[in-house]
Amino acid sequence: MAAREGAKRLGAAVAAGRRPVHDPEMMTSGRRTVSYSKIKVPAGGQKIVLGQPIPDDPIVPYIEGDGIGVDITPVMIEVIDAAVAKAYGGKRKIHWMEVYAGEKATRVYGPDQWLPEETLAALKEFAVSIKGPMTTPVGGGIRSLNVALRQEMDLYQCIRPVRYFNGVPSPVKRPELVDMVIFRENTEDIYAGIEWPAQSEGARKVIDFLQKEMGVKKIRFPETSGIGIKPVSIEGTTRLVRAAIQYAIDNDRKSVTLVHKGNIMKFTEGLFRDVGYRVAQEQFGAQPIDGGPWSKFTNPKTGREIVVKDAIADAFLQQILLRPAEYDVIATLNLNGDYISDALAAQVGGIGIAPGANVGDKYAVFEATHGTAPKYAGLDKVNPGSLILSAEMMLRFFDWKEAADLVIKAMERTIQDKIVTYDFARLMEGATEVSCSGFGKAMIERM
Ligand SMILES: NC(=O)C1=CN([C@@H]2O[C@H](COP(=O)(O)OP(=O)(O)OC[C@H]3O[C@@H](n4cnc5c(N)ncnc54)[C@H](OP(=O)(O)O)[C@@H]3O)[C@@H](O)[C@H]2O)C=CC1
Ligand SMILES: O=C(O)CCC(=O)C(=O)O
Ligand SMILES: [Mg+2]
């Protein structure tokens, strides 16, 4: 079976909250094959093998994360353990296994060990994991470890649902109209990290090549330009758009919007749009509406219509504020998806409750949308909601629906009782402000 078929199913399964069907080619060995130096594999618990039923006692690796990782990760674990215990009375239990990346890895493994090999090996061996945020310095320094993980593990779908919880303070009048799921391409685009600093030998060589070999005359200041390359492929676009459309089918959604800047970047963002429509037409039987390019097809599962349309990114950013109800599933490129994630999260109360999952053919790594918020690190202050809701997505992937529902119910009740962290408290009348761990406790009390 083609790997991309496996990808389609795993991605759709994560997004739809179903476990993937049996597929021998997606299986890793049921036995332990790797020995670890610093990672302590729990004595109890079993490895998740994709394609087989999720065990009742899965081992789940987690990366604590930099900055506020130290605050939110233990709270997430406490809340998820409580939900699982309450839902299954001890019949099911996650065996958490800490693995190291980012600043903590440099403390455990030594200087410059930001993403140790055994961490990557463990994330692959145990297939499904969750991570806190990791710091990326601006300008120089190490490249993003978050992006590196996505690329190394080929986690090509970044799935970020954006929905409103009643009672959350929002800067818009009708936040409840926002109900979108972003499918962000996660391995290509300008995020590939192919770039050279201004005045470096690399930049000079590339500029020289462009000017002399390619006849490029449009580099305004060639002597002082940094250069970045933006690869966008037919394969990468096809698999991402296919996953987004499959999600729309599985979840009875109304539309899939391809968001791009293809009027300006014709052969990258424009390619994304064109290939996106082609996928809809050739793989899902979509037919052009009024001569196209918007297209539609009948959802084979529900008989309802799904429209595939596109929007240019700048216009899209104003439309999600003015007419959010018109947008549903969003498929977009890496950089656009990064911007859109935070912008949409703000409409429903901010990145304190914005969850996500990175999904590929063989592995899934769940993670919040936000970063390390360094000024709050270690203060037990920030909202743990994003990471808790990312773990809730993981529970749905396990098909542990009862536990996932408990997490959502507890989140709703806690917010409705106006027990919130600082980010919501500062915008709400009559709220009780609690700490990060206090919010977790309040959630557990309301399960
Ligand atoms: N996937 C990842 O691991 C990501 C990592 N990063 C990295 O994180 C670092 C910091 O990035 P930065 O641009 O400051 O973005 P952050 O997302 O870390 O923080 C920006 C602001 O968002 C608010 N915020 C973030 N998290 C929470 C939370 N849990 N609860 C409440 N409010 C929250 C805070 O707002 P306020 O100040 O208003 O209180 C915070 O100052 C960078 O190194 C960046 O590269 C960034 C994004 C994703
Ligand atoms: O990797 C980083 O530091 C930032 C990534 C990011 O903002 C994101 O994935 O949303
Ligand atoms: Mg981001």
Same fold, 37-161+354-446 and 170-188+233-348: yes
Specify the pLDDT at position 49: 86
Question: How far does residue 338's CA lie from ligand 3's centre (Å)?
Answer: 5
Rounded-to-integer distance, Cα 337 and Cα 350, Å: 16
Specify the pLDDT at position 245: 98
Peptide bond into 355 cis (omega under 30): no
Q: Is 260 annotated as a binding residue?
A: no
pLDDT tier at 52, thresholds 50, 70, 90: confident
Specify the pLDDT at position 140: 78
- So where are the chain's domains? 37-161+354-446, 170-188+233-348, 195-228
Q: How many CB atoms lie within 10 A of CB 319?
A: 15
The ipTM (two decimal places) reads 0.99
Of all protein residues, the one whose alpha carbon is nearest to atom 6 of ligand 2 is: 338
Specify the pLDDT at position 142: 86
Of all protein residues, the one whose alpha carbon is nearest to atom 32 of ligand 1 is: 352
What's the whole-number average pLDDT of the chain? 92
- 296 SS3 class: strand
Place of tokens 């980012």: 102
Residue 192 burial by Cβ neighbours in a 10 Å radius (0-12, 13-18, 19+): middle
| Residue 26 confidence (pLDDT) above 90 | no
Active centre residues (catalytic): 191, 261, 314, 338
Specify the pLDDT at position 34: 67
For ligand 2, whether the C-beta of 142 sits within 6 Å is no
Rounded-to-integer distance, Cα 213 and Cα 116, Å: 40
Specify the pLDDT at position 12: 52
DSSP letters for 186-218: -S-GGGG--EE-TTSHHHHHHHHHHHHTS----
Specify the pLDDT at position 27: 39
Fold of 37-161+354-446: Isopropylmalate Dehydrogenase (3.40.718)
- 128 SS3 class: strand
Q: Assess if CATH 3.40.109.10 describes domain 170-188+233-348.
A: no
- Among 33-42, 200-209, 217-226, where is mean pLDDT lowest? 33-42
| Residue 38 confidence (pLDDT) above 70 | yes
Question: How far does residue 131's CA lie from ligand 2's centre (Å)?
Answer: 13
Q: Is 88 annotated as a binding residue?
A: no
